[in-house]
Structures are given as structure tokens and as C-alpha cells.
């Protein structure tokens, strides 16, 4: 599945895990998750919903009681919840790339602190590599740049540096909470992990 498709699938499953939704509600909330630069069309959303339905991860309930037009409400199945949990446990490179990181971060409350730290560290490493590449390219091509190209590059470098600083702060916060045992993890996943540890 294309990276954009993975992000969309994860966003849909994560939203439906909170509550069933109509298609127009899903589109509105998915757009908020994916970011204002990537508005989602119904032509992209509904094929994804059909694919998830065929896989057994969601079901579509029809309701004709509200008027002449039948309303369809989508909800997550037990298999869908299990599939969502598997997706959220993935801490590989796709979890921190540009397409997926925003959605993964928005769903951090459903993961444990250790997973959050691995994804944040991966994202930071990716951006540090990107920063080095752009800096080297800028040094080699500085003489050929006009003022506007140089300004655009400076803006890009500052944006990446700000995100790296932000990620470092988040990582330190997560580690500090982990040092205080899992009681310092406020997420539902963290509370579940705390409960399991106390039972041992």
C-alpha cells in the first residue's frame, strides 16, 4: 500500500476506535489529522473505506429513519481494533516519515512510552540526516543562489532545526516519565502497561 494509503488507513481506524462516524464526519476529522496542506476528497476516502470493509476491519450500518436519504455509519470491528493495535506497534522507518508521522503522533495516546520514544528518535534521526544533506548542498551551491533561493533554503533549515529541538524536548519528557516508572505515562496504553506490571 502507498505511504499515503497507510496514513489514511491508520487515521480512519484511529478515529473509528473513538466512536462510529458518518462519511462526512470522517472526512472532516481525517483532514484535521493529515494536515491542512493535504485536503482529502471523497474520491480518496470511500475507496479506503470499502477496502477496510472488505478486510473485515470496519462495517457500514445503514440508517434510513432520518429521511429519504439513507445514512451510513462506519464502525470498527474486533478485527479492526486488533489491526489498529498492530499498526500502532510498528516503529519502523514508515512510522516517522513525512507521510505518516503526523498521524502516528496524533495517536500517541494509544501507544506505550517506549513506542513513542522509538518513533520520536527515528523522526529526529531522519531530520538530522536531512539537515546535514541540505547544509552540504547549500555550501556547494551558495555562489549560484540568488537571494530568494537562499532565503527559501534558510527558512527550510530553520524549520527542520525547530522540529529537531521540539522532538528532543518530547523525548526527554518521555524518558523522564519512564524513569518514574510507568505511573508517569498518562496514556491509556501506559496505564494498561502499568496495570500488567503491578499484577506480576
- Are residues 58 and 121 part of one domain? no
Lowest mean pLDDT among 3-17, 48-62, 153-167: 3-17
Cell of 29: 476529522
Q: What's the sign of the alpha-carbon dihedral 146, 147, 153, 156?
A: negative
197 inside domain: no
Counted domains in the chain: 2
Which residue in 93, 75, 73 sits closest to 84, CA to CA? 75
* Block residue for cell numbers 457500514: 60
198 inside domain: no
Which residue in 108, 111, 56, 105 sits closest to 78, CA to CA? 56
**What's CA 108's distance to the chain center, in Å?**
8
194 inside domain: no
- Using a pLDDT cut of 70, give the percent of the chain over it: 83
Confidence at 182, pLDDT banded by 50, 70, 90: low
CA of 35: how far to CAs of 29, 43, 98, 102, 185, in Å? Answer: 10, 18, 11, 8, 27
Own/partner pairs, 189-195, CB within 8 angstroms, 24+ separation: 189/109, 189/110, 189/111, 189/112, 189/115, 190/112, 190/113, 193/112
169 inside domain: yes
Confidence at 68, pLDDT banded by 50, 70, 90: low
196 inside domain: no
Domain end marker among 75, 90, 105: 105
Domain end marker among 105, 127, 159: 105
CA angle 124, 126, 132 (to 5 degrees): 100
CA of 111: how far to CAs of 30, 79, 193, in Å? Answer: 19, 18, 10
Strands of 71-76's sheet in order across: 21-22, 71-76, 58-63
Tens-digit pLDDT profile for residues 129-143? 999 988 887 777 677
200 inside domain: no
Confidence at 53, pLDDT banded by 50, 70, 90: very high
Domain end marker among 105, 133, 148: 105
Lowest mean pLDDT among 118-127, 133-142, 158-167, 181-190: 181-190
Tens-digit pLDDT profile for residues 24-48? 999 999 988 877 556 788 888 999 9
**Per-residue confidence (pLDDT) for residue 77, from 0 to 100:** 98
User: For residue 146, what are the domain limits?
Assistant: 112-189
Amino acid at each position: 500500500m502507498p505511504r499515503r494509503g497507510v496514513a489514511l488507513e491508520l487515521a480512519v481506524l484511529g478515529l473509528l476506535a473513538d466512536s462510529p462516524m458518518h462519511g462526512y464526519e470522517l472526512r472532516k476529522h481525517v483532514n484535521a489529522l493529515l494536515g491542512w496542506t493535504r485536503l482529502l476528497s471523497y474520491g480518496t476516502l470511500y475507496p479506503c473505506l470499502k477496502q477496510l470493509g472488505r478486510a473485515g476491519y470496519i462495517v457500514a450500518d445503514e440508517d434510513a429513519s432520518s429521511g429519504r436519504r439513507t445514512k451510513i455509519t462506519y464502525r470498527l470491528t474486533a478485527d479492526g481494533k486488533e489491526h489498529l493495535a498492530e499498526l500502532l506497534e510498528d516503529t519502523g522507518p514508515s512510522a516517522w516519515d513525512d507521510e505518516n508521522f503526523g498521524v502516528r503522533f496524533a495517536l500517541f495516546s494509544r501507544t506505550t512510552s517506549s513506542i513513542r520514544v522509538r518513533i520520536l528518535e527515528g523522526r529526529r534521526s531522519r531530520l538530522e540526516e536531512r539537515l546535514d544533506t541540505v547544509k552540504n548542498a547549500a555550501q556547494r551551491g551558495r555562489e549560484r543562489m540568488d537571494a530568494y533561493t537562499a532565503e527559501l533554503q534558510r527558512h527550510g533549515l530553520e524549520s527542520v532545526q525547530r522540529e529537531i529541538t521540539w522532538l528532543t524536548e518530547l523525548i526527554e519528557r518521555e524518558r523522564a516519565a519512564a524513569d518514574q516508572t510507568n505511573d508517569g505515562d498518562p496514556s491509556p496504553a501506559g496505564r494498561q502497561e502499568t496495570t500488567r506490571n503491578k499484577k506480576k
